Amino acid sequence: MTTAKEKTKSRDQVWNHISSYNETTRPMVWESAEGAWVTDENGDRYLDGMSGLWSVNVGYGREEIAAAAYEQMKKLPYVPMTQSHGPAIELAEKINELLGDEYKIFYSNSGSDANEVAFKMARQYHQQNGEPSRYKFISRYRGYHGSSMGALAATGQALRKYKYEPLAPGFLHVAPPDNYRRPKGMSVEDYNIQRAQDIEDKIIWEQKETIAAVIMEPLITGGGILIPHPVYVEKVQEICKRHGVLLIIDEVICGFGRTGKAFGHQQFNIKPDIVTMAKGLTSSYLPLSVTAVRKDIYEKFNTGEENSHFRHVNTFGGNPAACAVALKNLEIMERENLFERSAELGARLREELKCLNDHPHVGEIRGIGFLLGIEVVEDKETREPATNERMAKIIGECKANGLIVGRNGDTVAGFNNVFALSPPLSCTDEDLDFIIAVVKKVFKENE
């Protein structure tokens, strides 16, 4: 158990991520975890309804994953990826199998890293493809692509960027499809076509010869769980192809079963030029990320000219133990049918929570796979977003009842009002019953 001295050190010496400055309130100190449940230093248990940071897809306490890391560390703990090793090769083959295509796999540590690599690759590709003026990237407001300076520039969440600007130049933003807040009288399909057209308009207004790529999640996750109509995603790909713009799909959260398929973009009829992934790749047992690049793009890095190769290195990317962990993680997902299980659990969760549509402060419930968002409002007629106080109360009461949930915090001022659930895909039926019971109870008590 954590000692009193260790508890004090946590407050005094650890700077907690994305947390308000507070010298009097300690963060929750976790001691252990098993399945979907975590135990704190007081012995209290909580169901982790957010899979850590949307990432522990196979759940906690998987001894075979720990064993895979241990055995690999004994045999070969490190290889710089200027060379190669067996687990990296095997994992690349497995990722291509899941993608259903042939990509070149570049390893890094985190989702932010994977997106930074994608930006560098896209710019150099166009340079070496005879279009050196293409350097700009288009992303969406409310989307999140990482915390490093380039990835943060791509992010469309003003509160994440406030006081850190100016960031990397060349990043442009357009409005995402937010179907709940579409104009009255407009169909969802027409609205999504309009939002896709915004991307084409931006390409044209900015001079298409300057646009390198569009980057987007298949659906906006941390920015409020905004799920597009299929016509949107497919039209964006069509627009990109028409204007010679690469399409980068950020699968950092949506990948590895979260949406009920191997990758979120497989819910739509598209084939991305570049796919970035992390989080569920290893279920966060070790850090690892991937930038997967279409083969014909990779071939442009072989012009024979000086400096035509991709001059990027990452000390820890593709670590042998991390690759071994990823392989074991994916083996578990396949053995336990967790992609299918994600779809099954999510469908039941949405069905059971449909009753909340009549709640005076629930504007909309939306989800796909085992991912759910509840848009909380002050007034159903005006759709005024819920206050921080209301959101904090709901989230705090869920925790008091043993359920850790999330929200789209620190994103866009006034729109941090989406209650989020992204539990481990390995949840049992009993775990799901618990989630449903707590959410219903807390919303009932906050009518």
Domains and CATH numbers, the chain: 4-58+337-444 (3.90.1150.10), 64-335 (3.40.640.10)
5-38 pLDDT, tens digit each: 665 565 678 888 888 777 667 788 999 999 999 9
- Please compute the mean of the pLDDT values over residues 35-56 and round it to a whole number: 97
Q: Is the pLDDT of residue 264 over 80?
A: yes
Q: Say what the pLDDT of residue 11 is.
A: 64
- Please compute the mean of the pLDDT values over residues 233-253 and round it to a whole number: 98
393-408 pLDDT, tens digit each: 999 999 999 999 999 9
Q: Is the pLDDT of residue 74 over 90?
A: yes
Q: Is the pLDDT of residue 310 over 60?
A: yes
Comparing C-alpha atoms, which of 280, 278, 290, 283 is closest to residue 318?
Answer: 290
Q: How far apart are CA 41 and CA 51, in angstroms?
A: 19
Q: Say what the pLDDT of residue 8 is.
A: 58
Q: What is the 3-state secondary structure (H, E, C) of 159-213?
A: HHHCCCCCCCCCEEEECCCCHHHCCCCCCHHHHHHHHHHHHHHHHHHCCHHHEEE
Backbone angles phi, psi at 30, to 5 degrees: -80, 140
Q: How far apart are CA 216 and CA 155, in angstroms?
A: 10
Residue positions counted in the chain:
447
Q: Say what the pLDDT of residue 1 is.
A: 54
87-114 pLDDT, tens digit each: 999 999 999 999 999 999 999 999 999 9
pTM check: above 0.85: yes
Q: Tell me which DSSP letter residue 6 carries.
A: H
Q: Say what the pLDDT of residue 18 is.
A: 84
216-236 pLDDT, tens digit each: 999 999 999 999 999 999 999
Helix axes 338-352 and 320-335, enclosed angle (nearest 10): 60
Q: What letter represents residue 242's amino acid?
A: R
Q: Say what the pLDDT of residue 3 is.
A: 61
Token pair recorded at residue 406: 């999330």
Please report where in the chains the tokens 């190669």 appear, as a residue.
84
415-436 pLDDT, tens digit each: 999 999 999 999 999 999 999 9
Token pair recorded at residue 207: 């001079």
Residue 276 CB neighbour total at 10 angstroms:
31
Chain-wide mean pLDDT for the chain? Answer: 95
Which is it for strands 403-404 and 45-48: parallel, antiparallel or unpaired? parallel
Q: Say what the pLDDT of residue 6 is.
A: 62
Q: Say what the pLDDT of residue 304 is.
A: 84
Q: Which residues of 352-371 are buried (b: 16+ CB within 10 A; e: fewer)?
A: bbeebeebebbbbbbbbbbb
Q: How far apart are CA 258 and CA 302, in angstroms?
A: 36
- Please compute the mean of the pLDDT values over residues 334-340 and round it to a whole number: 98
Sequence-ordered list of residues with C-beta below 8 angstroms from that of 292, at least 6 positions apart, any chain: 95, 96, 99, 103, 104, 105, 106, 274, 275, 276, 277
145-199 pLDDT, tens digit each: 999 999 999 999 999 999 999 999 999 999 999 999 999 999 999 999 999 999 9
Q: Say what the pLDDT of residue 108 is.
A: 98
